[in-house]
Amino acid sequence: KQEVTQIPAALSVPEGENLVLNCSFTDSAIYNLQWFRQDPGKGLTSLLLIQSSQREQTSGRLNASLDKSSGRSTLYIAASQPGDSATYLCAVKGMTGGGADGLTFGKGTHLIIQP
């Protein structure tokens, strides 16, 4: 059974710092890995998707990497801003259902950016 772990569970940093969120998964047979953002009381917003054949994806100040063989992904946030405060979730799409089954999520990293 796939298991996804996110470290740290919580992180508080001053505005302007660069930071890294970590995600690890136990089964490397994945189609893709997605990073989501969730604001309190809200739904999930997809930030980046990395296909299993890719090594990284970038969107603005966000960069996500994937090392499928070691079962690891990182989300790098450059020049953090208070608006980045949210819970960040990592999720993998397994290959057992031909890509049609759902995602396996980590429990998230709760990020606070101090003004």
Partner 1 sequence: NAGVTQTPKFQVLKTGQSMTLQCAQDMNHEYMSWYRQDPGMGLRLIHYSVGAGITDQGEVPNGYNVSRSTTEDFPLRLLSAAPSQTSVYFCASSYSLRGYPFVEYFGPGTRLTVT
- Interface residues with partner 1 (CB under 8 A) are 31-32, 34, 36, 42-46, 49, 51, 89, 91, 93, 97, 99-108
Neighbours of 27 (CB within 10 A): 15
Report which secondary-structure segment, H or E, holds 39: none
What residues does 45 pair with on adjacent strands? 37
Nearer to partner 1, 49 or 62 (CB): 49
Smallest distance, Å, CB 75 to partner 1? 16
The span from the CA of 105 to the CA of 16, in Å, is 28
Angle at 82 between CA 37 and CA 8, to 5 degrees: 55
Note whether 38 and 25 are within 8 A (CB). Answer: no
Least distance (Å) from partner 1 to the CB of residue 65?
18
Of 68 and 93, nearer to partner 1 (C-beta) is: 93
**Quick one: 89 or 111, whose CB is closer to partner 1?**
89
